[in-house]
Structure 1
């Protein structure tokens, strides 16, 4: 059976990665978390004191882009590829609220986006890939056979993010999470380079009130219909 490219875009904390991982495992496709790549670049900038909540020196980060090596290495214990920054597994470090607060600023930089989009397109050149992010269906894979756009209310997404972080043991407040979700929505949707928009041919899924199983069944049916139509 022919393989397709599945592009999943949407706002933060809409469960893009969760559904992408489920589909990749079921279909035996490669999964690429494009957001992890931007988070890893953000972590690099933080570690080199190029960015903080009060200051950002984008020119220094741009000058260092050739020194940033990103790759995904499959971890059989979790069932997906974890991201490595210069040969160091940073899967845990990039999921902190500190990185979340700064990643949208880094993702605005055109030079960063250009570098990462090139890598993402290379990863998916042979199809059989599921990639999630903000501009996958509009910029990275505009010809993807199936495009999804995930959405949910800011409050629902903040609850999910809060539960995820507190479960890990991070000390955060719900109000802080909600403000971050709303802030990232604004930055992602209004940035000049590749803003978050729904592709014209994308199917929008509001999962504010959808359970994980119901959502997976619904989307898996869409995939099957697309595959059988080829």
Structure 2
């Protein structure tokens, strides 16, 4: 499952995994985890070799249930830490480094090797799992994506405005779609869903319908 920031893919993926009894893989959290580690260790985020060395020495793992997924870096629970602005503002250095992405892809495929997994990110259908049984690309109008993100922030005393969130999403969209390595894009065989006017439950139900239809065709 792929899509831009605020399209709803993380929430949908978690709910879908829970409904199907599958594992949930949040690949974005993995890039955030390494970003947090690099910031903690004072690693130069523009030094590809240093970042690769750091990743080779770092253990990233998931714990907990799909609706309460926890991510650990070298045994430290960083679930909340990786959502800090300092990480959000610097994760693009990690995700834009080809050699780091190659290592991440290998790790993501290892996590998914047992099957029955819902993976979400930016390049799941195009790069990481090109032969996935079913692919979905979630999207939404930028105003709606910003509204969702602004609501999720839940920071009444914050100076961050709705306009700030829209600007941030515009920047992230440009970075994700124009980067040379694994840009955000819909694979030819992915099902496109515009979630602008859909609730999370409606999106999950629509995906389940597509999955059930695919199973019936196979049985036939």
Fold shared by both chains (TM-score > 0.5): yes
Aligned match of 2:97? 109
Correspondence for 1:14 among 7, 10, 21:
7
1:171 CA displacement: 5.3
1:67 CA displacement: 1.7
Aligned match of 1:153? 141
* CA RMSD in angstroms, aligned pairs only: 1.9
Shift in alpha-carbon separation, 1:169–1:13, aligned structure 2, 3 A? farther
**Structure 2 stretches lacking a partner, 5+ long:** none
Higher mean displacement: 96-105 or 114-123: 96-105
Maintained 8 Å contact 2:177/2:184: yes
SS in 2 for 1:182: helix
* 2:71 counterpart of 1:86: no
- Give TM-score scaled by structure 2 length: 0.91
Deviation digits for residues 169-202 of structure 1 (CA, Å, limit 9, x no counterpart): 7653222222211111111111111111100000
1:29 CA displacement: 0.4
Deviation digits for residues 22-71 of structure 1 (CA, Å, limit 9, x no counterpart): 111111001100000011111112222335xxx74444323322122100
Aligned match of 2:59? 69
Aligned match of 1:3? none
Maintained 8 Å contact 2:139/2:192: yes
1:156 CA displacement: 1.3
Whole-angstrom CA distance in 2 between matches of 1:143 and 1:220: 19
**Structure 1 stretches lacking a partner, 5+ long:** 1-7
Deviation digits for residues 202-230 of structure 1 (CA, Å, limit 9, x no counterpart): 01111111122222211111122123333
Aligned match of 1:165? 153
Correspondence for 1:184 among 167, 172, 180:
172
Whole-angstrom CA distance in 2 between matches of 1:44 and 1:21: 25
Deviation digits for residues 143-162 of structure 1 (CA, Å, limit 9, x no counterpart): 11110001112221111111
Whole-angstrom CA distance in 1 between matches of 2:131 and 2:51: 31
Whole-angstrom CA distance in 2 between matches of 1:138 and 1:183: 22
Whole-angstrom CA distance in 2 between matches of 1:34 and 1:123: 10
Aligned match of 1:42? 35
SS in 1 for 2:62: strand
